[in-house]
Amino acid sequence: MLIDYECFGDVISLDSTYCTNTSHRPLAVFSGFNHHRKAVIFGAALLYDETTESYKWLLETFLEVHKQKMPQTIFTDQAQAMAKALGEVMPGSYHGLCTWHLMQNAIKRLGNLMKGGTCFLSDLKSACMDMTTKNNLKKAGVLSL
C-alpha cells in the first residue's frame, strides 16, 4: 500500500460504506489506479461513525502513514462530514465528487426530466465527462437547471 500510494497516489478516491457489515460501522477505503489501470488500495479503516471528527482522524492518520503526502485530487461521495474534514485536513487537494454519485443524485432529484424518452441523463453524463469548464457546462445547459 505504501509503495503504491507513493507511485500512484496523486488522484485517489475515498469511499465510505455504511451498515453493510455485521458491526454496522462505516468502512472507509482509499483507492486509485496503477499504471496498468488496475485498482489499488491505499488504505482502509473501520470507523465508529460518519462524523467530521471521525473523518478528520481518518485523514490525519492516512497522511501520517503516507509521510504527509497529500493527493492532488480526491474524489468522494456527497457526504457533508467528509467534505468538511477534507477542507480542514487536506486544503491543498482538489475535492471532486464521484460521477456515479452525481448521476444517482440526478436520477433521484431530476427524474421528471427523464420521462417521455428524453436524452437528459445521457446529455448530462456527456456534459460531466466531456466538459471541464464552467463556460462549457453553461453552453450545454447543465448549469441552467
For 80-133, write each residue's pLDDT tens digit.
999 999 999 999 999 988 777 777 777 777 777 667 667 777 777 777 666 555
Residue 145 has pLDDT above 60, yes or no: no
Domain total in the chain: 2
Q: Are residues 73 and 49 in the same domain?
A: yes
38 band by pLDDT with thresholds 50, 70 and 90: very high
Percent of the chain at pLDDT above 90?
54
Q: Is residue 81 part of a domain?
A: yes
34: nearest Cα among 66, 77, 3, 68: 3
Q: Are residues 80 and 34 in the same domain?
A: yes
Q: Are residues 88 and 17 in the same domain?
A: yes
Q: Is residue 46 part of a domain?
A: yes
CA–CA separation, 108 vs 102, rounded Å? 10
30: nearest Cα among 78, 63, 67: 63
pLDDT at 86: 96
Question: What CATH number is attached to the domain comprising 20?
Answer: 3.30.420.10
> For 94-122, b where at least 16 C-beta lie within 10 A, e where not — what string?
ebeeeeeebeeebeeeeeeeeeeeeebee
Mean pLDDT of 136-143: 55
Q: Where in the sequence is the domain holding 55, given as residue range(s)?
A: 2-97
Prediction pTM value: 0.75
Q: Is residue 145 part of a domain?
A: no
Q: Are residues 84 and 104 in the same domain?
A: no
Q: Are residues 104 and 93 in the same domain?
A: no
Residue 8 has pLDDT above 70, yes or no: yes
